[in-house]
Homo-oligomer: A and B are copies of this chain.
């Protein structure tokens, strides 16, 4: 297997931290998103949606979407379990992963892209939507903070892929000027998760 990625991106980080949690190493090629290499014909042949990371499998097919790549690695390298071991645990971890991604991380990304025009060479931006998405991200962060007041991790004391995603999203948000460290439980959680060996470079 061979990973096409951009290690500086939050989705790139998700796959690399997951690999470290599993003790898996993969050969990698960095894709230059800033210059739009991911939108060129060579890369679109690997992923018609133009996103990194994308994993080339041993049968020559390509697998995209960070969470799908992590789920493949979970199946191939079952220990330590990060997606859940029983039907109920698998479902609850999926629920938290989706709350983190769709309510928080996606709002952070839409705020960033629309407010800063970081990708304005390739996408239309709306400053108004950037502001609305920022409010949605803040709202989701507050709900996550309230939950973490009574839970070490998103699923009680059970560390999972959802925690990894949230910690990376909170760090990414800070890097792009959206600071959620005033929320004490989220700040405590971020410190604890990013102290794990898998988060060290």
Interface residues of A (CB under 8 A from B): 48-49, 57, 63-65, 67-69, 71-72, 74-76, 86-88, 90-92, 94-95, 98-99, 102-103, 106, 114, 124-126, 128-129, 132, 135, 140, 143, 146-147
Given A75-B90, A90-B72; A106-B102 close (CB under 8 Å): yes
Chain copies in complex: 2
Contact of A129 among B71, B95, B132 (CB under 8 A): B132
* B75-A87 in contact (CB<8A): yes
* A132-B143 in contact (CB<8A): no
21 residue pairs bridging A and B, Cβ less than 8 Å apart: A48-B146, A48-B147, A49-B143, A57-B88, A63-B88, A63-B92, A65-B94, A65-B95, A68-B92, A68-B95, A72-B87, A74-B87, A75-B87, A75-B91, A76-B87, A102-B106, A106-B106, A124-B132, A125-B132, A126-B128, A126-B129
